[in-house]
Structure formats: structure tokens, C-alpha cells
Structure 1
């Protein structure tokens, strides 16, 4: 388990977190500042809305389910995209996440840019409606309450082929007792 929140790390909801916005969610941290707060996107909440319906010009570049993902409860009427570049260069319309090595080719996409400028530059892309945000100290309080695990990300987490299994997948690869949490039933009363 990671010791601190960092850009490119994951916040994994504990079974105690029953907020419907975050129940069994995996959040990729995109920005973190002790004084300014934390911003991330929920990686495992595909919506029913196809990319074609909202951003048709980007549809051909989207990886995995061709739908918008519910990035979180904040500004759900706005979109944010993440993409992996093929090379170490920074193409126009893409900005590298300032995180650890696991996310060195992962960055945000300027959805106002023409998709053609990134078409040959990226290998994977997902679009998120909204984001998750915490003010300074808010996430620390939630961590102390036992709502989140802070863990390292793997390069494949952002574009996991089956988002419905990502929560269990991330927990299973953890060391020690944390791996056992992956077996926690959806409804403990039915256990």
C-alpha cells in the first residue's frame, strides 16, 4: 500500500464507503496539493451514453467500451479525457500527468483540439463526464474515517478492459490482508 496520495496513484473505496457516487470505485488521482485539495476520475463507472452521442469526432480514438465514463459527481456536464501517447514526446493537444513513472505516458487531452492531430499519436483514450474533487483536508478526513485505500496504480488500470472488475482486480494484487478485501461480498448480509 502506498503511504501518500500522489498524482497517478489510486484511491480505492473500502467496503465501508457506501456513498453511491463512490461505492466500490477506483479513482485515479490527477492533481494533488496538500493546500489545494485533490482531483481525480472514477475509472470503473462506464455510463450508458456513447461517445458518439456527445463527442462524435473523438469516437474513433476511444479505447474499450465506446461510452463516456462517469468520472465523478463534480461538473458532470463537462468532459475530461485521458490518453496514452505512443512515444515519449508531448504531441499538441495532450499534457502529461505530473506523476510517477507508471503514468509517464498518460496525460490529459484537450477536447477542443481537432482529433486529427492526436490520431497517430495516442494508443489508448477514455472520456470522463465529471470528476471527483476534495478540498484541502477533506480527503485526509475520509482516509482517517476508513473510506479509502491509497495504492499504487498499474499502467493498465486506466484502460482496464472490464471496468466492472477493476475494484477487485486492484485489491487482489495488493500485499497482505488488503488482498482479502477483494473477496468482500457486495451485500454482507447475504453472506
Structure 2
């Protein structure tokens, strides 16, 4: 079995046409023999954090979009942030990037991040990407995904629409065999 470390990025290959993962970048949160879990980090939704949390946190004013973390359990909310001083029990996914580990931590990070002088840059996700045991390994063997080390600033990139292209350029520089930003392989 391939071994992943927490914090690696899966970069969707250009031929992967599944609408849930087309041109996606997935931050891997967990990978065991039973399966794998990650968050798509470059797919903002049309819903703001303020709208999504209006019943639970009525005082939060935030026009930042909620991101579509993946097609599994779309009602589940997750928050990634970059503050080592918030959420003391939060899991460090990679240097400078944490996953809120409790409801209290989730609220603490969102409240701190929505203040103008807040100490946290954060991103809220609904749903996650999940794979059964051996499923992701099969997709990797087929060439549906490329692997890349995680990068906290890239995960929290202000303009998420360019994240996939940035990752592909990095892979291209590293491998010198991948086409750069080509939508149709016949154009090579």
C-alpha cells in the first residue's frame, strides 16, 4: 500500500472529469488501510460563512465563501486555520496549518478570523473527499492524481481559482514531463 503523510496534496490530472474533482487540489487529512479523507481546497461555493453559520453564530459577519470540501457528508463543516495560538487541541496538518478539532475550537477560530485584527487566516469547508480502502491507490495507479508536498500558504491562497494551475506548474518544473495548462492532450 502507498503510504501518505498528513498534509500532502493530491492534484487532479487533467483527464479526471469527475465534476466533484475536476481540476481539484485535495489536502489529505488521513490515510489508512481502511480508506482516506481530504478536503478540496480550491472550490469556493456561492455561500458565505456568515450565511452558512447564521443560526449557530448570529454575530459573525463574514463574506468569505464556504468551500466545497468534497462530495461526502456535505452538511459536515470543517475549518482549517493558520494560528498556533487558537484551538489548543487542534491537529497540525502541516507546518502552519491546523484543523479545528472541536465545536468550541471551530467557533473560536471563526470569531477570531472575522475580526479585522484577528490572528487567524481561516477557511470553512462543507463536506469532504473520501475513499474506501484501496480506492485511492487504484486512482493513483491509473494516473488520476499527482502527489505534491503540502504548502500552508497555497492551501489558504486568497485566489483559490489559480491553485490547481500553480500546483501543475510546480509538478511540471519538478518532473519536466507534464504539460503545462493544456486542456486538450491533442494539442501537445
**Which structure 1 residue ranges, 5 or more long, are not aligned?**
none
CA offset digits 1:45-83 (Å, max 9, x no partner): 0000111111143855x7xx7011000000011111111
| SS state at 2:51 partner | helix
Alignment counterpart, residue 152 of structure 1, candidates 149, 154, 164: 149
Give the Cα separation in 2 of the matches to 1:145 and 1:190: 22
- Compare 45-54 and 104-113 and name the one that shifted more: 104-113
2:180 is paired with a residue of what secondary structure?
A: helix
Segments of 5+ residues of structure 2 without an aligned counterpart are none
Correspondent of 2:164 among 138, 156, 167: 167
Q: Secondary structure at the match of 1:40?
A: strand
Give the number of equivalent residue pairs.
Answer: 176
Deviation at 1:155, TM superposition (A): 2.2
Mean CA deviation greater in 105-114 or 74-83: 105-114
Runs of 4+ residues deviating >6 angstroms: none
**Matching residue of 1:40:** 38
Distance 1:182 1:111, change over 3 A: farther
| CA positional deviation for 1:112 | 2.4
Query: What is the CA–CA distance in structure 2 between the aligned matches of 1:188 and 1:122, rounded to whole Å?
Result: 44
Task: Work out whether 1:130 is the aligned partner of 2:123.
Answer: no
The alpha-carbon distance between structure 1 residues 151 and 15, as it changes in their structure 2 partners (threshold 3 A), is: same
Q: TM-score, normalised by structure 2?
A: 0.81
CA contact (8 A) 1:7 1:31 kept: yes
Q: Aligned runs of 1:18-167 on 2, under 5 Å?
A: 18-33=17-32, 35-56=33-54, 57=57, 59=60, 66-87=64-85, 91-92=87-88, 94-97=89-92, 99=93, 103-110=94-101, 112-113=103-104, 115-116=107-108, 119=112, 122-167=119-164
CA distance in 2, matches of 1:124, 1:14: 29
SS in 2 for 1:182: coil
- SS state at 2:167 partner: helix
